[in-house]
Structure 1
C-alpha cells in the first residue's frame, strides 16, 4: 500500500497531539498547550502556496504566542512555504531540533503478556510515565492538560517487569494512522528489548482500533531510537525542524 501524504501525516498529528487552544489563519495553525512540548505550542503552515503577507502573519502569530506566555516557535515541514522560511531568515530566526517523520504500513503485532492498556489520564499510567520520565509536578500537569484535549481514540501503554513499570508510551489513532508519542524506558534497563515489546503491544492495540498505518517523530540525533524504529519496520518519510527567534 502507498503511505499517506505529508499533509495527511501532519493533519493526523494535529489530532493525535493536540493543542489545548488552536487558531487557524488560512492554512497556518497556531497551537498553545501551556508550554508542554514544542509541537503542541507552535505555528505551522499546511500549504506551501499559502504565503501572502507572510511577514505580517509571522508577527501576528508570534504576538499570539507571547500573549499566552509562550516562546514563539514555528514548526517547519515540507509544507512550509519558501516565503515563510525566507521571512524567518530575514528576521534572524534559527533552526533547532532537526527531526524525522517515520512511518510504516501497520502489520500484525503481538502484545506482551505484561503490557497494560490504560486510559491516558488513568493515575496509574500518569504515575508510571512521570516516574520513568523524571517529570516534576508542573510538567505532569501540562501533560495531563494536553491529554485531556484528545478527541481521538488513545491509550497509555505500560510495560511491566517484576511488577514494576519499565516502559510507557501514548498511542493515538487519527484518520487511520496510529501516532506514537512519549516513548520512555527505564534508564537502568536499557538494551533488554523493553521498548520494542512496548511498541509491539501498542501497535497491536492500534490494529484492533482500525489503524492501517503507524507513524511517529524522532529527533535526528537520537540514534538509539532511530535504530529501534527501523528494527520495527518504520521508514523515514520526511524531515522537519523548529525555528525560534534569535539565538537557540
Structure 2
C-alpha cells in the first residue's frame, strides 16, 4: 500500500490535534490552544506555492500570537515555501525540536490483554494520563481543553501491569482514514518491558476496527528509543519537520 504525501498527513494532523482558535491566511493556518504543545500553538503553511508577501504575513502571525500571550512559533514541514524559510532565517528565528513523521499501512491487529480503550474525556483515563505525564493541574487543564474540541473519532489508550497499575498511555484519533497517535508516555521505571508495544497494539486494534487504514505519529529526531519501538512495529520515516521560534536565545 502506497502511503500519502505530507499534505495528507498534515491535514489529518489538523483534525486529530486541533486548535481551539484557528485563523487561515491563504494556505497558512494559525492555531492557538492555550499554550499546550507547540504543534497546536503555531502557524504552518500547507502549500509551498503560497509563498508571497512573506515578511508582512510573518509580522501578522507574530502579532496574532502576541495578542494571545503566546510565543510566536512556525511549524516547518516540507509544505513550507522557500521564501518563508529564508525570511525566518534572515529575521533570526531559531530552529528547535527536529522531528520525524513516521507512518505505516494499518492491518488487523490484536489488542494486548493488558490494554484498555477509554473515551478521551473519561476521568479515569485523564487521571492516568496526568499521573504518567507528571502534569500539574494547569497543564492538565490545557490538555483537557484541547480534547474538548476534537471532532473526529478518538480514544485514550492505557496499559496496566500485572498488579493493575497503569504503566503507559496515549491518545489516538482518526481523520481521513489515518490514525494519529500522540501523548505517548510510559512510566520511567517500566520502560523497555514491552508496555509501549502493548499500548500501540491495543490502539491499532481499535483504530483498524474503526476504519483506519494508515497509522501515523511524530517522533523527535533525538529519541532513538521511541524510533526503534515504532520501526519495530512497522512504521517508516516519511519526512522531517522542525519548529522556528522568534529570537536567538
Give the TM-score category using the shorter length.
over 0.9
1:114 to partner: Cα distance: 2.3
1:246 to partner: Cα distance: 1.2
Task: Give the 3-state SS of the residue equivalent to 2:159 in structure 1.
Answer: strand
Preserved CA contact (<8 Å) 2:99 2:220: yes
Please show how residues 198-209 of structure 1 align to structure 2 within 5 Å: 198-209=199-210
Which residue of the partner structure matches residue 225 of structure 1? 226
Preserved CA contact (<8 Å) 2:169 2:199: yes
Which residue of the partner structure matches residue 11 of structure 1? 11
1:247 to partner: Cα distance: 2.0
Please show how residues 1-248 of structure 1 align to structure 2 within 5 Å: 1-161=1-161, 162-248=163-249
Which stretches in structure 1 are left out of the alignment for 5+ residues? none
User: 1:37-93 CA deviation, whole Å, 9 max, x = no partner?
Assistant: 000000000111101110000000111011011000000000000000111011100
* 1-structure distance, mates of 2:224, 2:50: 35
Runs of 4+ in 1 over 2 A off after TM superposition: none
Q: Name the TM-score, length of structure 2 as normaliser.
A: 0.98
* 2-structure distance, mates of 1:176, 1:102: 15
Q: Name the TM-score, length of structure 1 as normaliser.
A: 0.99
1:237 to partner: Cα distance: 0.1
* 2-structure distance, mates of 1:134, 1:110: 30
Task: Give the 3-state SS of the residue equivalent to 1:111 in structure 2.
Answer: coil
* 2-structure distance, mates of 1:190, 1:217: 19
* 2-structure distance, mates of 1:237, 1:121: 31
* 2-structure distance, mates of 1:77, 1:113: 37
Preserved CA contact (<8 Å) 2:114 2:198: no
The count of corresponding residues between Structure 1 and Structure 2 is: 248
